[in-house]
Each structure stands twice: as structure tokens, then as C-alpha cells.
Amino acid sequence: MAKVPIYPGSSSFFPGDTPFGFYDNDIDFQQDADKITNFVARRLGYPIMDVELQDINFYTAFEEATTTYGNELYAYKIRENYLSIEGSPTGSSLNHELITPNFANIVRYSEQYGEEAGTGGTTTWYTGSVSLTKDKQDYDLKDWADASASLATGDSIEVKRIFYENPTPASARYLSPFDGFGFGGVAAAGFMGYGGEGGAGGYLMMPISFDMQKIQSIEFNDTVRRSQYSFELINNKLRIFPIPAKNHKLWFQYIKNSERNSPISTSPTGSGNVTNVSNVPYNNPTYLQINSIGRSWIYEYTLAICKEMLGYIRGKYSTVPIPGDSVTLNQSELISAATAEKIALVERLRGYFEETSRDKLMERRVAETDLRIRELTAVPYPIYIG
């Protein structure tokens, strides 16, 4: 049998001894590399038993354990903050940045609801016009779209609003901002059936939601009851009421369905923004700044990796001949133990991160506040005699 290299009992780390060199220039990593080599070798039985590993094997495991710790840490940070990170620039590292939760993406998602009402969203509203002809009541908007909307093949439009009379804001007709904004104190509004009463002498500030409901009610009333022209739009066919008595233009607003149906956000755009978890700008951790809790986990994970590595090596030399007999090495036990330890260590680390998540910490804060209040209620209240 070929001579198997074994750990000689000491090591001396130099930059370049690890496969990737992520932490080779970190002074703390350099100092710990030889210490952890000695630690792992002793945990594996040295010097009572030979350890079929060399210093570079220990350094490789140490680098992998540190990188795994960073991967788990920053994967947790991404899960915790991705809603606030998505769309941000990828140019600078987030390793040492404090992430502040924001509503940017929540607002971006909710804007699409306002898109259908014409109050927000990311779909552009375009303006078009149809030339109305005297005594002609019916018009086909498909003919107009084919000729004027500059549509791509297979695209279509959706008409959102037709201007059959000049729009005038409701507040400009009936509302003074100094006499009970919200129509609560407008005398004219009361006479016209909008529920107002009193004059400008009575000031009443109503909730803004009340104002919006009244404005919508007035504008819808004007749409149905006060329009000089009305229309009927079914599929592509536009019918005008009453029949035009002269030639003029009818203006309308529309959207392109290809833009509304597109899942691609128009802002922010470009390859320099976070679009998925793979390009969130987290780098490998700085070993110097990992605290004792993290380093302890790295030491244990390094031991598990070395144990697994040693198991595979001993599997190649499953039996070692000795005078008059042979010795069977413990390959299967090492690999089984190492696999179980690695899984347990990762689960423990994830559980630790989860316990320090934002929602868990807030739950704990609420629980502490409730307990503190319950404790204070048990304190006797003093009686003051004046």
C-alpha cells in the first residue's frame, strides 16, 4: 500500500494556501488558520491517531466554513429585506449597510390598481381624436387605431375616457376652500341638491375622503345628467348621441394593451439594479468583523467538513494490513457523523437568524411591554392626602 500522507503536527499559513483566497489577507483569518488546524486535528484524534490530512486541507475547510457562514447570513438578510432592496442599485456592497424598510415596492404594486381608474400606474395614457361627420352617428375605432395608433402586430387599444364636453373640476364650480371644504357649508350646493347648508361664515373641515366622494358624485352626475353629448362604446363601435349636427373632432384617451400586459417594469430599469436574489450586492463576509458567536460556528463547521473529508480519504484505504491481520478504517462512521453535524449546524444557524428577524423582535418587544404593564399594575398605588 502506498504511504498515506498524515498531519505532521504543525502548520504555517501563508496567503495563497486556500483555493479561492477570499480571506487570505485578513490578519485574523491568518492567525486563526493554524489555530483551527491544531484544534481540528486534536478533535480527530491526533496525536494518538494519525490524521490523513495536510494543512491545505484544513485551510480549505476553514475557508469553506467561513464562506458558508456568510452565505447563510446574507441569504437571511436578503429574505428579510428583499421587498425594500429590489430595484436598488447593485453598484455598492450592502455588507455593512443598515437597511431601512420602505414602501417603494408596495406603492409600485398598489399603483396598478389605480391604473384602471386613471389615477396612477405605469401604463401611459395616449390621446387620440376621431373626426365626427355631420349626420353620421356610428364610427369604428379599429379603423382609427390601424391608421393612427402606431400599434405593433397583434397589439390593441382600450379606450379609457371620451371627452364629449369640456371637463370642469367639481371644486371649481361649487366649492370654496374657505367655507367648509367638503360641501358642508356651501349654500349654493344645498340649493342644487348636493347636501350643503349655511354660508361662508361657517367653517367645517371635513375628512379628505369625504371631499373625494362628493367630487366623484358631482362629476358622475354631470356625466349622466348634464352632458350635451353622450356615447355608447361596444367592442370597437362608437355611437354618438345625439347625431352630430356639424363636423368636429371628438377626443378620447386610450392605453395600449401590450403595455398594460407587460410584466417588465419601466422604472427602475437597466442591468445595474437589483432584479433577483442573485444580484443583491452582498459580498463574502469580513472575517475580522465576525464576532465570537459566528467564529465558534465556523470552527464547528470546519471540523465537520474535515471529518467528512477524512472519511472519504479513509474510504480509499478501507483496510490497512498489519502483521498477521488487517485494520478496517472508520470511513462510514466519519461521513455519517459529518453529514449529520453539517445539517444540524446549518439548521441551528438559520434558527438563530430567524429568532433575530424583524417580526420576531417586534413580537418580543410587544410581549415585554405587556408583561411590564402587568407587573406595574401589581404595584400599590400611593394615596395622596392634600
- What single string gives the DSSP state of each residue in 198-253? S-TT------HHHHHHHHHHHHHHHHHHS-S-EEEEETTEEEEES--SS-EEEEEE
What does the pLDDT profile of the chain (386 residues) look like in tens digits? 456 678 999 999 999 999 999 999 999 999 999 999 999 999 999 999 889 999 999 999 999 999 999 999 999 999 999 988 988 888 889 999 999 888 888 887 787 787 777 777 778 889 999 899 999 999 998 888 888 888 888 888 888 888 876 555 665 556 555 544 444 444 444 444 444 444 445 556 778 888 788 888 887 777 667 665 678 888 889 898 888 888 988 889 899 988 888 887 766 656 688 989 999 999 999 999 999 999 999 999 999 999 999 999 888 766 555 555 455 567 888 999 999 999 999 999 999 999 999 999 999 999 999 999 999 888 887 877 76
Instruction: Supply the pLDDT for residue 105.
Output: 80
User: What 3 state SS string does 120-157 have?
Assistant: CCCCCCEEEEEEECCCCCEEEHHHHHHHHCCCCCCCCE
Contact 317, 43 (CB under 8 A): no
Burial annotation 56-75 (CB, 10 A radius, 16+ → b, else e): ebbbbbbbbbbbbbbebbbe
Contact 317, 5 (CB under 8 A): no
Handedness of CA 46, 51, 55, 60 (dihedral sign): negative
Nearest Cα neighbor of 133 from 231, 248, 252 is: 248
Contact 52, 5 (CB under 8 A): yes
Q: How many CB atoms lie within 10 A of CB 21?
A: 11
Instruction: Supply the pLDDT for residue 143.
Output: 86
Q: What are phi and psi of 126, to 5 degrees?
A: -100, 160
Joined together, the cell numbers standing for residue 356 give: 433575530
CA–CA separation, 376 and 107 (whole Å): 41
* Assessment of whether the complete model's pTM goes beyond 0.75: no
Domain ranges of the chain: 27-95+281-377, 119-261
Instruction: Supply the pLDDT for residue 319.
Output: 57
